Amino acid sequence: MPETIDNIRVEKLDIVRIIGITLDNAIDAAVETEGDKAVVKVAIFNKGLARYYVVENDMVQEKLPTHLIFEEGYSTKGPHRGYGLANLDAIISNYPRVSYRIQAKNYKFRIELEMS
């Protein structure tokens, strides 16, 4: 059942940038799979006092080195790329009550942000 998500503890411009970066990466990765069934899933919900924003997408790689993907310039797509997740990390670092978890395995990439 749909519910209203209010009182987000992140500045409006920053939440738009966070959503934009994660969706842009998810769509790019899903399109690379070249399948008609490439999937991008998005969920935004309340759980207790926390707000969650989850994006999951198909990817070509079986797994990714999650310890590297937030480094500026790291990209699986070639040179002159790899700034989105570094920017996302920089934005989130301004909010001590926002955290994220990454999974990149089994041809799926998932990022889960928690705003407590």
Residue ranges of the chain with per-residue pLDDT less than 70: 1-8, 68-83
d(CA 76, CA 99): 24
Write down the pTM of the prediction: 0.82
Model pLDDT, residue 85: 83
Task: Characterise 32 by phi-psi region: left (phi > 0), alpha (psi -120 to 50), beta (else).
Answer: alpha
d(CA 94, CA 86): 13
